[in-house]
């Protein structure tokens, strides 16, 4: 039986006078690639914040298996052209539990490894400020991988990237999923990407939701976009 990393049971969450998530139940198993879709304001980021422990459900529960490490890739935001750190140094910023002001040999090897995994080896010494949008987003992805997470959350991480760059980033994510068994929680508006990459989907809708295998996501919605 597959190992459950996140188990959500009858979860509801309301802000004052504003119900957002209602009676939600689903599971994320190790190795899943879950696509989370839904229109603006439906509660996708709110759900991510519950997983990250920043918000408490109003009812029901969300249980994360003990010891599960989470990596988080934010929405793309531009970095100033003057930003002084190299891509490599930027990625190393995310190490947790560093005891020394400089990196150990093991940590340097880890930085090298994630840089290779996301395909930035050739430009690792270039200032991050001079990198393209796609390269910057790969640097954020590498940062999220540095502490060897079990679960990677991508919250609209491909929004505002052009279609080819989006695909390139998701190809890297898919490889991490397939080859290393990294569990993916991919939040997106982009129905086409949801059809193409994930193996499961969670579709948040007003007062209801759908959860299941991607083959049950109806084809008539394939061209739909939630923008
Ligand atoms: N701290 C808060 N207090 C009150 N309302 C909030 C708070 N955070 C979010 N909301 C509201 O809850 C709803 C869900 O927001 P959320 O950011 O989860 O939506 P989303 O699906 O991620 O939307 P988007 O696709 O636009 O990012 C929105 O109406 C939002 O305004």
Cα gap 140→98, rounded to integer Å = 19
| pLDDT of res. 80 | 81
Residue range 72-105, pLDDT digits in tens: 998 877 778 888 889 999 999 887 666 666 778 8
Ligand 1 geometric centre to CA of 193 (Å): 22
Instruction: Give the CATH number for residue 63.
Output: 3.40.50.300
| pLDDT of res. 131 | 92
Residue range 8-57, pLDDT digits in tens: 999 999 999 899 999 999 999 999 999 999 998 999 999 999 999 999 99
Does residue 168 carry a pLDDT above 60? yes
Shared-domain flag, residues 86 and 48:
no
Mean per-residue pLDDT, 177-189 = 95
Shared-domain flag, residues 123 and 156:
no
Q: Is 40 in the pocket of ligand 1 (CB under 6 A)?
A: yes
Report strand pairing: 151-155 vs 183-187: parallel
Shared-domain flag, residues 46 and 158:
yes
Mention every residue, 6+ apart, whose C-beta is less than 8 A from residue 64: 5, 6, 51, 70
Percentage of residues in the chain having pLDDT higher than 70:
93
Closest CA to 65 of 49, 76, 51: 51
What confidence category does residue 226 fall into, taking pLDDT thresholds of 50, 70 and 90? very low
Which residue's CA is minimally distant from atom 26 of ligand 1?
40
| pLDDT of res. 186 | 97
| pLDDT of res. 227 | 36
* Structure ipTM: 0.95
Q: Is 21 in the pocket of ligand 1 (CB under 6 A)?
A: no
Boundary residue ending a domain (124, 149, 174): 149
Q: Is 45 in the pocket of ligand 1 (CB under 6 A)?
A: yes
Domain encompassing residue 25: 1-68+150-164+182-219
| pLDDT of res. 99 | 62
Cα gap 138→165, rounded to integer Å = 10
Shared-domain flag, residues 142 and 80:
yes
Residue range 113-149, pLDDT digits in tens: 999 999 999 999 999 999 999 999 999 999 999 999 9
In a domain, 175, yes or no: no
Shared-domain flag, residues 35 and 49:
yes
Ligand 1 geometric centre to CA of 106 (Å): 40
Count Cβ atoms below 10 Å from residue 13 Cβ, excluding itself: 22
Shared-domain flag, residues 6 and 32:
yes
Q: Is 36 in the pocket of ligand 1 (CB under 6 A)?
A: no
Quickly list DSSP for 46-112. Answer: HHHHHHTTSS--SEEEEEE-TT--EEEE-------TT--SBHHHHHHTT-SS--SSS--HHHHHHHH
Which residue's CA is minimally distant from atom 9 of ligand 1?
46
Q: Is 20 in the pocket of ligand 1 (CB under 6 A)?
A: yes
Ligand 1 geometric centre to CA of 45 (Å): 7
Shared-domain flag, residues 145 and 80:
yes
In a domain, 103, yes or no: yes
| pLDDT of res. 178 | 97
Which residue's CA is minimally distant from atom 2 of ligand 1?
15
Cα gap 177→141, rounded to integer Å = 13
Which residue's CA is minimally distant from atom 30 of ligand 1?
41
Shared-domain flag, residues 138 and 188:
no
């Amino acid at each position: 039986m597959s190992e459950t990393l996140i188990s959500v049971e009858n979860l509801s969450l309301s802000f004052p006078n504003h119900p957002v998530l209602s009676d939600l139940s689903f599971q994320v198993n190790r190795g899943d690639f879950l696509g989370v879709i839904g229109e603006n304001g439906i509660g996708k980021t709110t759900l991510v914040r519950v997983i990250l422990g920043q918000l408490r459900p109003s009812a029901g529960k969300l249980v994360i298996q003990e010891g599960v490490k989470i990596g988080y890739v934010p929405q793309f935001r531009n970095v100033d052209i003057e930003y002084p750190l190299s891509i490599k140094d930027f990625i190393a910023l995310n190490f947790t539990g560093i005891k020394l002001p400089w990196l150990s040999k093991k940590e340097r090897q880890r930085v090298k490894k994630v840089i290779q995994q996301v395909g930035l080896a050739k430009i690792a010494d270039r200032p991050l400020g001079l990198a393209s949008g796609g390269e910057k987003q790969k640097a954020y992805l590498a940062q999220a991988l540095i502490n060897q997470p079990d679960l990677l959350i991508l919250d609209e991480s491909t929004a505002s990237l052009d279609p080819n760059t989006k695909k390139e980033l998701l190809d890297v994510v898919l490889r991490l999923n397939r080859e290393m068994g990294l569990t993916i929680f991919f939040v997106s508006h982009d129905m086409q990407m949801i059809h193409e990459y994930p193996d499961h989907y969670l579709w948040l809708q007003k007062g209801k939701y759908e959860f299941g295998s991607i083959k049950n996501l109806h084809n008539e919605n394939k061209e739909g976009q939630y923008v």
